Structure formats: C-alpha cells, structure tokens
Amino acid sequence: MTRPTAALLLLAALAAGCSRSGAVNSPATPAEPAADARTVFEKRILPIFKSPDPSSCVQCHLAGVDLKHYIRPSHEETFVSLRDQGLVDLDDPGKSKILALIQMGADDQAGAELIPAKTRKAEYEAFAAWLAAAATDPKLRAAPKLPAADLAGPKRPVEVVRHARTDRLLASFENTVWAMRFRCMGCHTEGTAENKKLVEEHGERVAWVKAAGPAATLAYLRASNLIDADKPEDSLLLKKPLNAVKHGGGQKFLPGDQGYKAYRAFLDDYARTVKDGYPDAKSLPKPDAGPRKFGTDIWLKLENTPPDWGDRLAQVDVYAWDAAKGAWEPDPIATADRGVWGKGRLWQHNLTLLAAKGSDRAKAWAANGPSLPKGRYLLKAYVDRKGRLAKDWTAKLDRDDYAGQVEVTSDWRTGYGKMTAADAGKVR
C-alpha cells in the first residue's frame, strides 16, 4: 500500500520545525468537547470532503494530493489519522502541520488567481476551529493508534505527488515550449511592434507569449482554449504551427521536428498529469537526461543545398572546438532543424543552445543569457530523406540520415540580419 508513504515523508520533511516537546499542558476538559468538535466537523469539514470542487492544494499540486485525502467520514477517525501522522499539535492546535499545509500558498501571487483566497480561508478556519475543539477531548487524545493502512493521506505515491507539482510543470515548460519560443515570439510576444499590429487585426488572443515570462505564459495557456487536455495532440498550440488548422503565421512546425517534439512532449505530460493519469512511479515519463535548452535569436544558414536535400527536414548540430584538448567537444553546443527550401537551395534557422544540466556553461547562460564565443565550429548535417519523422514523431535523425560535416568560424552575432553562413556544397 503506497498511501501512507507520502504522508510519512511529509512528516519527516516538516519534523524540523516540530515544537511539541516543550510545554506539557494538562488537557483542558470543557463540558462536552466531543459533541462540540463533532458538530464543527459535520458542519464545516465534511462539506470540504464531499465537495466536487478542488481544495486550495491544487494551486501547487495538479494531482496526487488534496485536502480531501486527509479527511475520513468520521470525526474520530479523521482526528486520530491526522494525530498519528504528526499533523496535529495536541498541545497547541493552532500550530498543527495540517494548518501549515493549508496556508502554504497564501502569499503566492501567481497561483492565487486559480484558487480564490476565500477557499483557503474557509478551509483554514474550519480546520482551526475543529482542531481547537477536538484537541481538548481527552478521549480523542488517548484513542488507540490506527493501523497504518487506515491512515488518510495522499492518494498517490510521493514520486507522483512531486511530478505533479506546479513548480515542476513550470520547469518542464521552460525546457520545452519556452525554449522554442523564438520560432513564434516575433508575432506572438505581447507588446512588440509586430504583435500590436496583429492584435489590432486578430484580437488579444495572438498575444499569448506573455511579456512577464514563462510563468505568466504558462498560466495564460492553462486557462486558454489552446490546450486540449482530453486529446493533447489536437491542441491548437500544436495544430496552428503545423498549419493543420489554418494559421496566420503559416507552417512553423513539421511533424517530428524539434519544435513539435518539445511542444508535444509538454502537452502529453501536462494532459496526463492533470487527468491524474500516473498511478505509480514507474508510469511517470523518464527524467529528461538531455541537456538544458536555451532558445536564441542566433541564426545559421546553409546555402547551396544539394538537390537531394530539397524540401526535406534537415537538422544541423554545432560542435565547439576545445582548444585545451585540441579536439571538437563530444556533445553539440547548439542545434536547429527546419525544412530545406529546395527551390532556393537554402536551409536556415535560429539556434537552440545546449548545455549539460548543472554544468558551469548552463549556469552562466541562465545568469547572463545564452551566447556562443567567437571561434571554430563543426557543423554536422542530417537530412530526413526517408520522411521518418513524419511517420513517427518520436524518431530521431541518426547515422543513417547523416549527410556530412563542414567547418565554420563565426562570432555568432544575434539577429536575422547577422546570420552565420556556411556552404552546404562543402558538406562531406
């Protein structure tokens, strides 16, 4: 049974601040404490238990844990269950951990829009009033322990509770949709000159990349009709850039390209998370072992592309020269993919910079913005001649699709007008 696990871990996490050793108050004994506490429970806690509405926890926990999970139909059992998990402070009920959990999001502005302050206040006041009454009942205080399997707590194991946290969701969003925003932001970033023009024509909806950053953009998208949590692959956020639903910006994604992969992985995981579709730790997506991705406005073009690249998806990986080792770095420092313009014999796109998670390079780019130093670089080109990615969006271009390599020297200035160019005719 996984049920008590998360609750017990929580206990451990919160134990540091635990202050129950000190003053040992003798239990007060008012006239009819049990009846009083029971009335409060039935009037104020049971409605929370029975309500179809989410509790304040959803502000940060998309699934896996809810205030309801800590409540049992009976007043006695609920109290003993909370008591046994260390969530009640018998001597100072106002300091109970369950109250701290309810207060967790009280000063979090971003999430506050999702949960009205009055929901949290009502939960807090109901639990505070009930615990104050129940903790004075000597019978409840002394009631025998519940068997571990009867403890009421999170429905999902702790790994799932963690995966479904909104801060984890934001981290995943930043490394997927947000990292790929450069393909879209010219037209869709709120407040830019181009966006203002488009807003006049199409309305506020085209301003979906929020000037305030990734958290604001994610909050907007979650509340919009652009994500279809029932069928994530049908989300407008994917179908518009594919031009599968007519798109004012034309076709921006090819099925299976890096932008598509990033959006699709985010949408699939988001939908499954909010549908509580991960029953256990092993059903969770594998942790992304790949590098951290940084979108940029650094452009690269390959001119004079060979005829057999024409209108295929081509990917270019960029390798930096390691002067100390006298060799190319083993992992690409940047990548980009895009359909080749066969008639114009041209491939061009903006680069996504890559750095191992936690590396000095990743830290520096996160702090100061991503950039590439001036120097020698090796470009390795892959061309999807067999149309593999259109058939299976999860497929990756590999050795079989390798078209060759060419060296460039560049200072990688940013902006479409300052593009680094290489001759695809020299790719061997």
Which residues are near ligand HEC by CB under 6 A?
6, 9-10, 13, 55-57, 59-61, 65, 67, 101-102, 104-105, 108, 111, 154, 158, 161-162, 165, 167, 183-184, 186-188, 198, 202, 205-206, 208, 226, 236-237, 240-241, 247-249, 252-253, 259
Q: Which is nearer to ligand HEC, 260 or 319 (CB)?
A: 260
Name the amino acid, one letter, at 314. A
Please identify, using beta-carbon distances, which residue of 111 and 306 lies nearer to ligand HEC: 111
- List the structure tokens of 359: 């590396």
Q: Which residue is nearest to ligand HEC (CB)?
A: 249
357 Cβ neighbours under 8 A, 6+ residues apart: 291, 292
**Measured between alpha carbons, how far is 91 from 85 in angstroms, rounded to an integer?**
15
CA 411 to centroid of chain Cα atoms:
33
Tell me phi and psi for residue 255, to 5 degrees: -55, 130
Query: Shortest approach of ligand HEC to residue 94 CB, angstroms?
Result: 16
Question: Position of tokens 């991503």?
Answer: 370
Between vectors from CA 241 to CA 236 and to CA 246, what angle results, nearest 5°?
Answer: 75
Residue among 55 and 81 whose Cβ is closer to ligand HEC: 55
Q: Which is nearer to ligand HEC, 221 or 320 (CB)?
A: 221
If the CB atoms of residues 122 and 378 are measured against ligand HEC, the closer one turns out to be 122
Q: Closest approach of Cβ 177 to ligand HEC, in Å?
A: 8
SS3 383: strand
Q: How many residues would you count in the chain? A: 428
Backbone angles phi, psi at 88, to 5 degrees: -120, 135
Shortest Å, Cβ 343 to ligand HEC: 20
The nearest distance, CB 239 to ligand HEC, in angstroms, is 8
CB of 245 to ligand HEC, least distance (A): 8
Residue with tokens 């979906």: 208
- State in angstroms the smallest separation of the CB of 265 from ligand HEC: 14
Nearer of residues 162 and 361 to ligand HEC, judged by Cβ: 162
Q: List 355's β-bridge partners, or say none.
A: 292
